[in-house]
Structure 1
Amino acid sequence: MGFVTKKMHAYLDYPVAVALIVLPFVLELGDSNPLALQLSVITGIAAFILTVLTDHQFGIYRIVSYKGHLIVDALVGAVFVIAPFAFSFEGLDAYFYWINGAAVLAVVSLHKPEMAIHS
Structure 2
Amino acid sequence: MKILSPTQHGYLDYLTVVIFLLAPSLIGLTGLAGTIAYLLAGIHLAMTLVTDFPLGVVKKLPFSIHGWVERIVGSVLVLLPFAFGFEGVGKAFYIVIGIVIILVGLLTDYQQNQ
Query: Do Structure 1 and Structure 2 share a fold, with TM-score over 0.5?
Result: yes
Residue matched to 2:56: 59
Aligned residues: 113
Alignment partners' CA distance in 2, 1:67 and 1:94: 29
- TM-score for the superposition, normalised by structure 2: 0.91
Pick from 85, 88, 91 the counterpart of residue 91 of structure 1: 88
Percent identity between matched residues is 29
Unmatched runs of 5 consecutive residues or more in structure 1? none
1:25 to 2:25 alignment: yes
Letter in 1 for 2:98: G
Give matches, 1:42-53, under 5 Å.
42-53=39-50
- Contact conserved, 2:18 with 2:41, CA < 8 A, in 1? yes
Q: Which of the two has higher C-alpha Rg?
A: 1
How many angstroms does 1:114 deviate by? 2.4
- TM-score for the superposition, normalised by structure 1: 0.88
Alignment partners' CA distance in 2, 1:85 and 1:17: 23
Of the structure 1 ranges 48-57 and 9-18, higher mean CA displacement relative to structure 2 is found in: 9-18
Structure 1 or 2: more helix by fraction:
2
CA offsets, 1:84-115, max 9 Å, x none?
Answer: 11000101110000110010001111222425
- Contact conserved, 1:17 with 1:48, CA < 8 A, in 2? yes
